[in-house]
Amino acid sequence: MRIGSLHTQQDADKFCSIVSTERMAISDSRVRGLQLERMLSGRAKWRLRFSTPGGRKRVCMTLGDATIISLSDARKIAEGLLRQAAFGLDPKHQQSELRSVPTFVQFVKDSYMPYIKSYKRSWSTDECLLRNHLLPRFGKRYLDEITRQDLQRMHSDRRQAGGAPSSANRLLIIMRYIFNLAIKWNTTGIKVNPCLGIPLLEENNNRERYLSVQETQRLYLAVLESDNTMLKFIVPMLILTGARKRELLDAKWQDFDIERRTWRIPINKSGKTRHVPLSDGAFAVLASMPHLPDCPWAFANPDTAKPYVSIYYAWNTVRQHAGLGDVRMHDLRHSFASLLINSGRTLYEVQHILGHTQIKTTQRYAHLSQDTLLAAANAAADAVGTAMAQLALPVTNPLHA
């Protein structure tokens, strides 16, 4: 039932106080199509009815509760929507889009986590960072409400709270990846990544540790004395292949092609399959290893016939006995890459063997030993000495000058 028209806020308040068993509506005297409707429940809502240009479509939009939105506010909102409609925009469609924009926690839970769990072996690290840092901060926000300024503040706050540059950068990198996926998947309301233009902090914590030949020998002797009988196979294979620890511990016998001398790693850190060539040394290690009955895993725990969950205790004991307490298991991969570089292999070859997607990652391992550098320096000195001898110029030892 429609009664009268609205002129003032007092008229609206009086209408809302009417006791009736019928649904009622009253139209605004100033803005055409604006109405105050009283529901059977007793609640009153502002609604706007209008036609799109050309009368092609009739639209009814709910503006909000009359106990929250005043008459003057309802008029302003209605006039703005009518103005959009006059320019050919569809406010109803825009309102529907806004309602379909997910919150950050919804997108992470329903889209991001299921996706990275399907390919990323280190997804638990993302889950931990999200749970401890990002979800408490952005969880209830809608994706289109998270701005560049918000992310810059998050980045700097993490650093000021005592986090290392790499820790702050990791949060920003995850957020950048999340928004890139949202754009890729045509998520409503996300057109531009708000992380764009925010620079990463400079990281000077890239730790370089490479085993010398003598250190490798000491380590191997300590490994032979370990109570863990599989460590004498695991450590040499890590050094001889440059594989990651988890890649080796989860390796199956079927992954090794003896005829082609290759090891197929089904899913590596980047989620792709790669093939590692088996050197004579690696081949010899495989040939000497025991085969557990009905066990598909090559480096399985003999007690459980399943891959090791952790071998830290055994590894830590061995490195301490070898006097190499600062050497991490991942440093064996570093050492393998360094040996390849020092033997004259190209960065491209090393990149392919290690399974890096970017050459700049491989360049971290492009460590040249002191002997290699000294040989290069002597080659330059010899060349200069030869040239100067040809010119009959004296060459003196600077240490005796």
**Bridge partner residues of 256 (DSSP):** 263
Return phi, psi of residue 288, to 5°. -95, -5
Give the single-character DSSP code of 142: B
Alpha-carbon torsion 141, 145, 151, 153, what sign?
negative
- pLDDT number for residue 65: 86
In terms of Cα–Cα distance, which of 88, 16, 82 is closest to 50?
A: 82
* C-alpha span between 381 and 377 (Å, rounded): 6
When pLDDT is cut at 50, 70 and 90, the band that residue 398 belongs to is very low
When comparing pLDDT for 19 and 213, which is higher?
213
3-state class (DSSP) for residue 196: coil
When pLDDT is cut at 50, 70 and 90, the band that residue 369 belongs to is low
- pLDDT number for residue 139: 93
Kindly report the CA angle at 58 between 69 and 22, in degrees rounded to 5?
55
- pLDDT number for residue 127: 94
Neighbours of 376 (CB within 10 A): 11
**Bridge partner residues of 5 (DSSP):** 27
* C-alpha span between 254 and 265 (Å, rounded): 10
Query: What would the pLDDT profile of 160-193 be if each residue is shown by its tens digit?
Result: 888 888 889 999 999 999 999 999 999 888 889 9
Contact criterion met (CB below 8 Å) for 264 and 252: no
* C-alpha span between 157 and 294 (Å, rounded): 53
Most confident by average pLDDT, 268-277, 307-316, 391-400: 307-316
- pLDDT number for residue 357: 66
Give strand ranges (E) for 7-109: 24-28, 34-38, 44-51, 58-65
pTM above 0.75, yes or no: no
Average pLDDT over residues 295-300: 95
